[in-house]
Structure 1
Amino acid sequence: MAFSADRTAAGGLKQACNSFQAAAGAFAFLLDLSAECAAALERLMLAQAQECFFEKVIGDAKAPGLCCKVARQVSLYYEEASAALNSPPLNQHFDRMWISYAQIKAAHFYAEACYRISLDLHEREEIAEEIARLKSAIGALNDSKQFARGVAAPLLDAVNDLEGCLNLNLERALKENDRVYLMRVPQISSLAPLPAASLVKPFPMADILDASKERLFATLVPDNSAKALSRYTQMVDDIIRVQAETLQQGSETASIRLKEMDLPHSILALDGIFSLPADIKEDVEAVLVVGGPAGLDAEFQQLRT
């Protein structure tokens, strides 16, 4: 579910993050895995969940300091996973590509954290530490390239893109220091560790999988009840079909009887819906002119006399 989510959209990013945390909880819950294997897989899932948060803070244009903390925690999770996968007994069972992937990811996000904190340092004109952080990041990426064989191209492209940004910023910082600040660049070992902030945790599977809280068979229907329901449904269908046939027969009989009585045409004619033929209509009007039936009787009497 996490890998199928569209992480370019906010909803998809949230779904992926939640799925990775659920997977971390599931691996920690499984009893048929060794403790070492479960811990390594849990760290991998948490690393990817934290990575989703990093994508979110970058997309939301959060402050470089916060981005640094989130990225550094991604790196720490991958470092822990890499250390577990590269140690006995897991290194005898996992494909080397898994280890390489975790190592490159750890270096990538360590460099990302250095890059983000360097932006903050540049704003505060702490040029010496900025240079030290940038050099440390570039060194980490260069060291990780020894594990690049077999790693997916998109990851290597991301590493190369980040390295390009780091080199550009380092070149700029060195020029500014040589021309303006003239500060001594400290050794990276003398600097405080990069801050980290974990925003993820394994979802507790024990609560989710607790069957005592669910009526697992509440929606199941007993076999005899299902058969009785089927018979009832069939009976209702038969009644509806018989009534429909009776109604159809009655309608046909009524139509025949109406035709025999010249209905409803006669009724419609009386209601004035049908018009009389023109010659008959003229005769009727002539009768009405002489006074209707009474006028005709008077004319008959005159003819007799």
Structure 2
Amino acid sequence: MYNVMLINGSWSVTRFVNQEPLHSLEGAFLHLQRWKGDYKKLAYSAKGMPRLNGRSALKLSRFGFGVYPLAYDDELGAKTVFIDKQLGPKVDTAKWGPEGREIVQQTDGMRQRVKAGLEKMSETGAEELKEVLVKYLILLFKTAFMSRGISLTEAELGFKWSDAFETEKFGHVDDWTFERASVLFSLAATYAFTATHRDRATAEGIKDAAADFQKAAGVLGLLHGEMREAPWKGSPDLSLDTLDTLRKLMLAQAMKCFYEKARDENKSASLMAKMAADCAALYQDVSSCMAQAKAAGRPIGAMPKDWLDVVEWNRLLFDGVQQYYLSAVHLEKFEYGIQLSRLTYATNKCGEAVNATVNANPLMRKQFLDAYELCRSAHERAKKDNDLLYNESVPNFAMLPKPERLPKLLVKPTLPDAFTDPTTFVEPQSLPTTPVVSREPTPVAVLPPVAAMSAASLGDPPPPSFEEAEALGVEQLVAMGFTRHEAAAALSKHGGSVRAAANELLNSATDGP
């Protein structure tokens, strides 16, 4: 393990031994926290189960972006179907039919699939989990729509989630929007997980990672907007402060992917300087948000130290790297003194990043060591050339212009296709209502008898059969509000006369109770 130190203005690398590396975050994240717990009825009498005013709750731990020990508790078993048990009997089957109850049961089943996916989190499993989470959100939307007017508190159905950063803290809300918010948070975290596990040694892997980070940012942005209207108070991980900072962090990670792709393709120093400047600005923005929140004691300050460290490491890295590439632009213009000034700053900043990552995962730390070595060797050559050949004065770095950024940022929040498809979140269709027959006499339009309707003239098609005419009469009476059975019986009684049948049906309706 290496540590960089500055001695008398020159950099050296010192080896440190007997230091155990910490399992820090990869990129911006390492592993996502799994949901722990299962559907819990808090009034259940099983040993060890808590009580909360006799209310029931679905106890889960929000799928977060941090690194936490797994503490899964499954006292009721994976087969529990709790939403259907508490809510299913209250769904109006007269309005929604048997399909309504089926949707509630499907919601329970999909929730179990989500849980199973989180319990077996892997690179391949995470791809499937994205689809499962979206399917659950769709079913959740339909179940909530059919449950309008039903008090979840009275149904003894609530949602209990632990905070993604402080897992010992729980929020309990009897509101569908709380469940949706927690699932959206987990969906964003899943995209971040797959992004950090892409093979960024390949162009395709970098492209996919950038897309995943931008989708994570998009979902977090969507959640941020919904939280503004939430009728309940958000926990620290769902605070507007936290969500906005995470969104910015996802964009910074996505921009880093584009930078890596351009670097591997040996793009020009001028372009690389601008892309590195964008990365530096994005990480600086995230770092400032975190520092301000921590100083003010706002919710984002509850983020694990690992998060703060990773953001700081990347801020230092790109603060230096942007100057490294810009120094190459000065070299092309034969501006040797300015080149050396920028390389000195670049080497110092990348050295600070290496020092800061002394306890990081060795594989992760390699990128910082590589960047430092690149700057150090370039600085050594530039200083030697200027001392022996050019003898240009080296300007004060603080007086140099800041690096230019790209005219337009390459990254932006995007959403998974399901959220932009207008057919995804569609309200379930209720059964058609039975027409109410008016008890007041209604003027009857003069309807021609069946015989007159079927009278044929020269050149006309042959008249309809008696069965066809009777069927037509039934449809006319049904359109007036009578049942098909009543219409058929009345027509049969009056020899197919629609008017006679209609008069009888209306008279019987007005004579009713």
**Range of TM-score over shorter length:** 0.5 to 0.7
**One of 45, 58, 81 as aligned partner of 2:286:** 81
Please, which of 324, 329, 334 is the counterpart of residue 115 of structure 1?
A: 324
Match status 1:157 vs 2:346: no
TM-score normalised according to structure 2 size:
0.40
Corresponding residue for 1:2? 195
- Render the CA deviation track for 1:154-210: whole Å, top value 9, x for unaligned: 3322222221221211121112112222111111111110112221111157x8525
Of the three residues 204, 212, 218, the one matched with 1:25 is: 218
- Is the CA contact (8 Å cut-off) linking 1:74 and 1:109 kept in structure 2? yes
Change (3 A) 1:90 1:122: farther
**Deviation larger for 207-216 or 157-166:** 207-216
Identity among equivalent pairs (%): 26
Gaps of at least 5 residues in structure 2 are 1-193, 228-233, 432-513
- Correspondence for 1:71: 276
Per-residue CA deviations over 1:90-129 (Å, capped at 9, x if unaligned) read: 4630111111110111111222211112222222211111
CA shift digits 1:251-291 (9 cap, x unpaired) = xxxxxxxxxxxxxxxxxxxxxxxxxxxxxxxxxxxxxxxxx
Structure 1 residues 151, 85: CA separation in 2 closer, same or farther (over 3 Å shift)? farther
Change over 3 Å in CA distance of 1:215–1:115 after alignment to 2: closer
> Cα offset for 1:217?
8.3
Aligned with residue 199 of structure 1, among 410, 417, 424: 410
Shift of residue 2, structure 1, vs aligned partner? 1.4
Residue of 256, 269, 280 corresponding to 1:51 = 256
1:100·1:151 contact (CA, 8 Å) conserved in 2?
Answer: no
Match of 1:230 in 2: none
SS of 1:125's equivalent in the other structure is coil
Cα offset, 1:44, TM superposition: 1.1
- Alignment partner of 2:419 out of 201, 209, 218: 209
CA distance in 2, matches of 1:28, 1:214: 19
Inter-CA distance 211–59: structure 2 relative to 1 (3 Å threshold): closer
Q: In the alignment, is the contact (CA less than 8 A) between 2:241 and 2:300 conserved in 1?
A: no
Q: Which residue of 2 aligns with 1:148?
A: 357
Structure 1: unaligned runs, 5 residues or longer: 223-305
Rounded to whole Å, the distance in 2 between the matches of 1:180 and 1:174 is: 10
So what's the TM-score if we normalise by structure 1?
0.65
Give the strand-richer structure, 1 or 2. Answer: 2
Gap change, CA 1:56 and 1:189, over 3 Å in 2 = same
The separation in 2 between residues aligned to 1:91 and 1:42, in whole angstroms, is 12
Tell me how far apart the structure 2 counterparts of residues 171 and 216 of structure 1 sit (CA, whole Å). 64
CA distance in 2, matches of 1:141, 1:191: 19
- Alignment match, 2:245: 40
Give 1:146 deviation, angstroms: 5.4
1:212 offset after TM fit, Å? 4.3
1:158-237 equivalences in 2 (<5 Å): 158-197=367-406, 198-203=409-414, 209=419, 212-214=422-424, 216=426
CA contact (8 A) 1:97 1:150 kept: no
1:153 to partner: Cα distance = 2.3
1:128 to 329, 337, 343: 337
Higher relative contact order (CA 8 A, sep 6+): 1
Q: What letter is aligned with 2:273?
A: C
Q: Specify whether residues 163 and 145 from structure 1 end up closer, same or farther in structure 2 by C-alpha distance, changes over 3 A only.
A: closer
- Quote the offset at 1:59 in angstroms: 1.8
- CA displacement 1:62-106 (0-9 Å, x = unmatched): 101101111121121111112222232246301111111101111
- Note if contact 1:5-1:16 (Cα within 8 Å) is conserved in structure 2: yes
Q: How many residues align?
A: 219
CA distance in 1, matches of 2:386, 2:257: 36
Change (3 A) 1:200 1:215: closer
SS at match of 2:405: coil
Which amino acid is the alignment partner of residue 372 of structure 2?
A: E
SS in 2 for 1:151: coil
Q: Are 2:313 and 1:104 equivalent residues in the alignment?
A: yes
Is the 8 Å Cα contact of residues 242 and 300 (structure 2) preserved in structure 1? no
RMSD of the alignment, in Å?
A: 2.6
Letter in 2 for 1:153: P
Distance 1:156 1:7, change over 3 A: closer
Bigger shift: residues 41-50 or 140-149: 140-149
Give the Cα–Cα distance (whole angstroms) in 1 for the partners of residues 202 and 239 of structure 2.
36
Contact 2:251 2:413 in 1 (8 A): yes
Partner deviation per Cα, 1:5-37 (whole Å, 9 max, x = no partner): 222222222111111111111112212522221
| Counterpart-to-counterpart distance in 2, 1:39 and 1:57 | 28
Mapped contact 2:213–2:251 kept (Cα < 8 A): yes
- Quote how far apart the aligned CAs of 1:134 are: 0.7
Q: Which has the greater radius of gyration? A: 1
Indicate if the aligned counterparts of 2:313 and 2:353 stay in contact, CA closer than 8 A.
Answer: yes
Whether the aligned pair in 2 keeps the contact of 1:16 and 1:49 (CA below 8 Å) is: yes
CA shift for structure 1 position 211: 6.8
